Amino acid sequence: MYADFRAPRRRLRVTEELEAPLPLSPRERSHFQAELLNQHVLVCDPEHSQKIHDQGYFGKGVLSRSRPEHNISNQWEQHEGVFLPVVSQARYEELLKWVGSALSAQGWDEEAVHQTLLRLSQPIQMEDVRNQMGGEGEAEENGERGKEEPEQEGGVSPQMKRSRRGSEVEPEAKRSCSSEQDSDSSLDCDPDSDPDPAPLVPGPGFLLVVSDSETGGGVREVRRTPFFLSEYLQLSLEEAFFLVYSLGCLSVYLQQEPLSIVQLWRTFRSLRPDFISSYAVYHHFRSKGWVPKGGGGAKYGVDLMLYRKGPPFYHASYSVVIERADDAFRASPLRPFSWRSLAALSRITANVSKELMLCYIIYPADLSEAELDSPVCLRRLKVQEVIVSRWVSSRERAEQDDI
Amino acid sequence: MATIISDEFDGHQDPEESRSSRQTPGIMADQNNTDDKGKFYSEILSPSELFAARSRSHKIPVRGQKDFFPDDSDEQKQRLEHSLNEHWSLLSEERVERLGNLVNGQWIPSKQIVELQSPAGKFWQTMGFSANGKQCLLPEEALYLMECGNLQVFHQDLPLSIQDGYEKFLSANTVSLQQYQVFGHLKRLGYVVLRFDPSSESSSYARQLNLPQSSDRAGRQLKRKRSLSPAPSSTPTATCSRAEAQEECSTEKMEEDKCSEGEEDKKLPEPPEAQSSADEGGGRSWWMMDVLGDSDKDSGHGSKSGSSCWDFSSISFPDLGSTSREHFPSDLAPPDPSLLPRDLKVGFCDIAPWRQKINLRQVKMSANEQKREKYRRRWDVNKNREVRRCRNWAEYQELMARRKGKREGRPAHLWNREVTPLHDPTQPIATGELLEKISVIKPTHLLEGASRLKDADDWRICFNVYQPNTVADFKKSNPGKPYSRMCVCSFDDPVPDLRAIKLLAYQSGDIPVVIAVVDYGDISFYTFKDFQLPTDVYP
């Protein structure tokens, strides 16, 4: 009567190690911060986003597939003892053009833009690069790693990408220019005594520009990175609420003001009509130690995918469809099934070697609106997991085990 | 009269040689030969027909390679036609049976069963039952055997055709067409399919006691070697089920009581909290009220611009400890009388004795200390935006508390409210314990609360299915536990919701339920099984 538990399938190539199952470190007392912008929860600080992602696999980088690892280039080379990203001449000029147009859009006059671009595209001496790197604590590690690079091959670049993730946030080009000017003029970083949540990260970037083989013959020159691309970590509503409510390690700010738990609950409920059901399911699976990831809708037609430990280690084991039921177990289905759609979904799920799970959240009859307005109502809900599978009647009879 | 239907090729059929229903076995009549030119349909084969039937090719049409889309070529058209013709000819084959091998039965509409009039064949091992000393078949079994060519059923002395069989045997009282289709599908694959009888299923209480199951397939009592009570088998189970129902009702009531008690407990702590916050709110501004009172009494002398706050930037507070070289005048002028309480007269103040009491020596600092001093002088707490937003000392203290909370990992906006996080991140805890701590949503299983649904009627189990490899040892009197139970529905019916799944699970007990979905002859099977995801803790 009970479905058997099938062991999750490990991925063929596992290149990471699990840091921690959840982003908790009592000794460090780190408290993470996220902003609620335009109905999305974003973590801007790179350190926070790294910890939140790597310890529990919450969230997704906005410019990347999973963890925020957007880089100006995917190719890295060693150049005079330092590891730098490589960019072709054409691409470099394109980047410079973008900076120019951004500055003109800000209202700069042509001459100023031209001067800035000239200044930006000066070739850099390697001593400057090393000085820069030596001047900052974070970059020291980069320098050391730069020396270590020659010994390791291949698998190094993903690690380097992680350390290089410190890029700045700059939707406004003016601010980017001022920071560039800062880095032009003074090599020290201003210690920020102001505890503003401004995501300023020190450290200009350098890159290696390869001139076209026709003209320069593959000559490599070190230049400054024209602009910085920032990447945030985006958390889904359920992930953010879990970090705030269950673990107490995240705060969500709306227009610089932190939201309390009840305010966050109400905000999320207004953003999504059945937030309670989807959050209850998310919470349930997290409290079993599994990693639920949303976004399975576009790929597999379901609400959640369940991973053991995290996406880099195992293939997803279950595709979960969230349903709600009332006290008499009658469902008011969030997505009504017909046999045709259920058959289709079952086939798709079997084709990708996963199991289809329907997860029912059962609401007691006497749950009032006032109770629903606070996350304490979660204690009154119940979860029923049902595995749907297709039975083939004509399979080899000798090999048939229990259904 | 005997129309032939063969929708699947039955591998286990020997082609037998008679189509006749009434004649005695073994007679081959030649008298019909002359009339055989298509006018009169004869059921007994002429020798030439018999020979033709016997030497029929047994080849099953082979499915060639698939063409994915039409290419309007003659070759493709020919292939398709050839293939179609093969199939049509196979379908239109008349099946030839030997009279002697046909078992005869009689349809009894009053009891809706078929009574056999000649001894049953091999099928008796898994089908049929005995009643009143005779061998009988259930209507679906009879129809199936008719389609197999093993059985001939008479009604009012006339043999029934397959079409008659479908019309008469399948009805609301017996088995519906869809259920019969599933029955036939499973039987042809070799499964043993028996009807499901809910009353013969022991209740969960009886299962707990591990009572042996009785099987009365047609409602007849079977003698058991051990009987736990002298009464017939049906009544103990009935009383058991009633007692068990009462038990379940009472336990459910207890659960509900506990829930309501829990709720009451929760309600109590809330009102006192509300009160204390009100007090705090009132208490915060008591000194503001007093200041207002004073300024009113002073008839507008004290406060400028009508606000209750003084403008401290315009009031000079002398710094007696200043180390600057400027000499202070030896006495201080009295302050503005509007700043003083009423009836207080202040004159000039001689500060020389005070300055003597103060240690005005310069402190010698090392270079580091001087640098730090310089930075400290430059640092102004008021440069901070958040500090500037505080309008009074109380708000500044709140800001300090908030910062402290944030620094220590327990920010005020999370911890000083009605709903606090489930876990304090500053507390070290093992992962397993943490998962237990945050498990606030209870898992449940299918049978929980399912007894409430037992009177529902819409989803019913029809069949018990036994695996084919048990056929050799199968005993109808004691079939044992079925492999699964079947519930049949149509493809256009709604998908079972949680209520239906629970109802079926309740009816079935511990045997998995398979739902057969019939789509005009195509049958798919789905299971909805209970599941509990195991907790996964890895160090």
- Whether the pLDDT of residue B316 is over 80: the answer is no
**A145-174 per-position pLDDT tens digit:** 333 333 333 333 333 333 333 333 333 333
pLDDT beyond 90 at B240: no
Question: How distant is the Cα of B448 from the closest Cα of chain A, in angstroms?
Answer: 10
What is the model's pLDDT at position B169? 92
Per-residue DSSP letter, B533: P
Question: Exactly one of A79, A354, A360, A363 is catalytic; which is it?
Answer: A354
Identity of the residue numbered A90: A
Nearest to A203 by CA among A182, A231, A174, A172: A182
The residue of chain B with its CA nearest to that of A374 is B419
Q: Give per-residue pLDDT as tens, B506-533.
A: 888 888 999 999 999 899 999 999 999 9
- Helix A137-148 to helix A156-163 angle (10° resolution) is 170
The pLDDT value recorded for residue A229 is 74
In A, which residues are within 8 Å of B438 by CB distance? Answer: 246-247, 283, 286-287
| Mean pLDDT across A323-340 | 83
* pLDDT mean over B282-310: 49
Q: B336-370, pLDDT tens digit by residue?
A: 778 888 888 888 888 778 777 877 777 788 888 88
Indicate if ipTM > 0.90: no
Residue B40 pLDDT greater than 60, yes or no = no
Characterize the bridge pairing of strands A355-362 and B192-195: unpaired
Nearest-neighbour CA in chain B from A325: distance (Å) = 7
Q: State the pTM of this model.
A: 0.67
Q: Which CATH number fits domain A27-70+230-272: 3.40.1170.20, 1.20.1070.10, 3.90.1150.10, 3.40.50.1100?
A: 3.40.1170.20
Q: Which of A120-129, A158-167, B137-146, B149-158 has the lowest mean pLDDT?
A: A158-167
Q: What percent of chain A has pLDDT over 70?
A: 73
Compute φ and ψ for B297, nearest 5 degrees: -65, -35
Q: Which chain B residue's Cα is nearest to A280?
A: B441
Q: Are A386 and B384 within 8 A, CB to CB?
A: no
The pLDDT value given to residue A215:
54
- Asked whether the beta carbons of A9 and A353 are under 8 A apart, the reply is yes
Is beta strand A257-258 parallel, antiparallel or unpaired with respect to A250-254? Answer: antiparallel
- Phi/psi at B208 (5° precision): -60, -40
Integer Cα distance of B423 and A286 in angstroms: 14
Give the three-class secondary structure for B367: helix
Place of tokens 């696999």: A57
Q: Smallest CA–CA separation between B341 and chain A, in Å?
A: 40
What's the pLDDT score for residue B539?
Answer: 66
Arithmetic mean of pLDDT, A264-285? 93
Residue extent(s) of CATH 3.40.1170.20 domains in chain A: 27-70+230-272
User: What average pLDDT does this structure show over B470-477?
Assistant: 80
Distance from CA of A129 to the nearest CA of B (A): 30
The predicted pLDDT at position A217 comes to: 59
In angstroms, the separation between the Cα of residue B225 and the nearest Cα of chain A is: 30
Instruction: Judge whether residue B50 has pLDDT over 70.
Output: yes
Q: Three-state SS across chain A? A: CECCCCCCCECCCCCCCCCCCCCCCCCCCCCEEEEEECCEEEECCHHHHHHHHHCCCCCEECCCCCCCCCCCCCCEEEECCEEEEEEEHHHHHHHHHHHHHHHHHCCCCHHHHHHHHHHHCCCCCHHHHHHHHHHCHHHHHHHHHHHHHHHCCCCHHHHHHHHCCCCCCCCCHHHHHHHHHHHHHCCCCCCCCCCCCCCCCCCCCEEEEECCCCCCCCCEEEEECCCCCCCCEEECHHHHHHHHHHCCCEEEEECCEECCHHHHHHHHHHHCCCHHHHHHHHHHHHCCCEEEECCHHHHHCCCEEEEECCCCCECCCEEEEEEEECCCCCECCCCCCCHHHHHHHHHHHHHCCCEEEEEEEECCCCCCHHHHCCHHHHHHCEEEEEEEEEECCCCCHHHCCCC
Quick check: is A307 catalytic? yes
Tell me what the mean pLDDT of segment A361-387 comes to: 91
| Three-state DSSP state, B401 | helix
C-alpha dihedral sign at A389, A391, A392, A397: positive
Mean residue pLDDT of chain B comes to 74
Shortest CA distance from A32: residue in chain B: B409
Give the chain B residue whose CA is nearest to the CA of A360.
B498
Q: Is the pLDDT reported for residue B41 higher than 70?
A: no
Q: Say whether pLDDT at A251 is over 80.
A: yes
Asked if B435 and A287 come within 8 Å (Cβ–Cβ), the reply is yes
Where does CATH 3.40.1350.10 sit in chain A? 273-402
Which percentage of chain A shows pLDDT scores above 90?
Answer: 28
User: With a CB-CB cutoff of 8 Å, which residues 254-293 of chain B face chain A?
Assistant: 259, 266
The B residues from 96 to 115 touching A (CB cutoff 8 Å) are none
- pLDDT tops 90 at residue B261: no
- Tokens 């079947």 — which residue? B486
Count, residues in chain A: 403
> Which parts of B144-265 are beta strand (E)?
151-155, 158-159, 192-195
CB-nearest to B421 from A22, A261, A339 is A261
Reply yes or no on whether the pLDDT at A386 is more than 90: yes
Share of chain B above pLDDT 70, in %: 70
What is the C-alpha to C-alpha distance for residues B119 and B100, in angstroms, rounded to an integer?
A: 11
Residue A216: both structure tokens together: 């320069």
What pLDDT digit, counting tens, does each position of A292-311 carry?
998 777 788 899 999 998 88
At which residue do the structure tokens 């209970």 appear?
B530
> Regarding predicted confidence, which is higher, B67 or B176?
B176
Determine the Cα–Cα distance for residues B274 and B280; give it in Å rounded to an integer: 10
pLDDT at B205: 62
- The pLDDT score that the predictor gives to residue B228 is 46
* Chain B residue numbers touching A392 (CB-CB < 8 A): 525
**Least confident window among A62-71, B90-99, B207-216:** B207-216
Q: What is the pLDDT of residue B232?
A: 43
Find out whether A397 and B477 touch, Cβ atoms under 8 Å.
no
Confirm whether A147 is a catalytic residue. no
Q: Which residue among the candidates A40, A70, A309, A315 is catalytic per the annotation?
A: A315
- pLDDT single digits (tens) A342-357: 999 999 999 999 999 9
- Report the residue from A29, A280, A380 with minimal CB separation from B409: A29
Q: CB-based contact (8 Å) between B535 and chain A? A: yes
| Topology of the domain comprising A273-402 | Trna Endonuclease; Chain: A, domain 1 (3.40.1350)
Contacts of A375 in chain B (CB under 8 A): 419
User: Choosing from A307, A314, A360, A363, which is the catalytic residue?
Assistant: A307
